[in-house]
A and B are shown apart, each in its own frame.
Chain A
Amino acid sequence: MIRKNRKNAKTHTGAVAKERLKLMIDAQRQRLDDETLDRIRQEIGAIITKYVDIEPENVEIKIILKDYKSQEICEIKRETHVETV
């Protein structure tokens, strides 16, 4: 009985490995590279300066991707203070 239980606890660790790998690999593939981040930063900055009378260098942009698979938080910061739209 004891032996059987121990055996059960050990089985299917392969499935655990697969699940972990899937998460790791997905996260890696979806990570935003610097180039894309730069583009996002530029485009959002352009939109803000279009509606608000402010110099681009005075805008601070912070992006938090809540529903992101890898749960990664990307921050984009510009110096000086925040201007709310």
Chain B
Amino acid sequence: MGEVITFTSGKGGVGKTTTTANVGVGLSLLDKKVVLVDTDIGLRNLDVVMGLENRILYNLVDVLTGRCRVRQALIRDRRYPNLSIIPSSCSNESKGKLNEKQMKALLDDLREEFDYILIDSPAGIDEGFRLATFDADRIIVVTTPQIAAIHDADCVLQLLHREKKTEPFLLINCVRRHMVRDGNMLDVPDICELLDAKLIGVVLEDEEVIICQNHGEPVMGRHTASEECYRNIARRLSGEELEIPNYMRRQSIFSRILLRNTARKQV
């Protein structure tokens, strides 16, 4: 029986899609069967980030409205044999016509076949958010250390707490170490103190993410700052007890080289 994990945020542009893609790849590399579902109807991104935009035949709306079978909409990623995605649609004419019953049927189908079903939720807290979260086994609220993102994350968390379905988790994305060091960016403990959710992981700001996405590739397997963060989150989601390292700890050049080498050996 698979687990449905939804990535949501309230504010847009905090990295929901990037996180969904990379954590998904991370889980598939742990030999789990993973499917990524893009629920941002009308603004599909997940397939673009993953470089699978040319392989779309059917999309999520087609499945939900019964125009095709689930199997027909699944795109298998040839680079990662355990990974598939269901893209969202480009037009938003179906918006408002989709209901929770259709979504639940799809998720139950996917639960039979996959270990993890990762849902990329749209920004905001209306219809699309509801469709992405109502049947999730776990909800991860993504935020960045920016004031507006934290504010919106709090709104979403309060909303989720009020509904009391599942305990939401917090993921802090795009932490810039040099800014935190200068006191110009909220640090991870500050954000945890403000927000009412358990921390599942921290992802460091990384230019490599943008460079990889230009090619339509996830950052996994690149040995950069964020790659290790995503890998750790995937391991935590798969049930491993893994401490969240203090990323602000000063690292000597020696330990950095050592870390890099051990990371290489693991792959």
**Residues of A participating in the B interface, judged by any CB pair closer than 8 Å:** 10-15, 17-18, 20-22, 24-25, 28-29
Contacts and interface: CB of A to CB of B under 8 A. Distances in A.
A18 B158 contact: no
A10 B184 contact: yes
B199 interface: no
B155 A28 contact: yes
Given A25-B151, A25-B154, A28-B158, A18 B183 contact: no
A17 to B, nearest CB: 5
Interface stretch (B69-77, B122-130, B186-194, B233-241): B186-194
Interface of B: 145, 147, 150-151, 154-155, 158, 179-180, 182-187, 190, 194-195
B184 A11 contact: yes
B158 A21 contact: no
A3 to B, nearest CB: 14
B184 A12 contact: yes
A22 B190 CA distance: 10
B190 A14 contact: yes
A25 B183 CA distance: 21
A14 B151 CA distance: 14
Contacts of A20: 147
B183 A11 contact: yes
Given A10-B184, A14-B184, A21-B194, 8 more contacts: A11-B182, A11-B183, A11-B184, A12-B184, A14-B180, A15-B183, A18-B190, A25-B151
Contacts of B158: 28-29
Given A18-B194, A21-B194, A28 B147 contact: no
Give chain B's interface secondary structure class.
helix
Nearest to B190: A18
27 contacts: A10-B184, A11-B182, A11-B183, A12-B183, A12-B184, A13-B184, A14-B145, A14-B179, A14-B180, A14-B183, A14-B184, A14-B186, A14-B187, A14-B190, A15-B183, A17-B147, A18-B186, A18-B190, A20-B147, A21-B147, A21-B154, A21-B186, A21-B194, A22-B194, A25-B154, A28-B155, A28-B158
Contacts of A12: 183-184
A13 B183 CA distance: 6
The residue among B179, B180, B184 with the most chain A CB atoms within 10 A of its own CB is B184
Nearest to A11: B183
Contact of A17 (B154, B182, B186): B186
Contacts of A22: 194
Contacts of B150: 21
Contacts of B154: 21, 24-25, 28
Contacts of A13: 183-184
B6 to A, nearest CB: 23
A11 B155 CA distance: 28
Contacts of A14: 145, 179-180, 183-187, 190
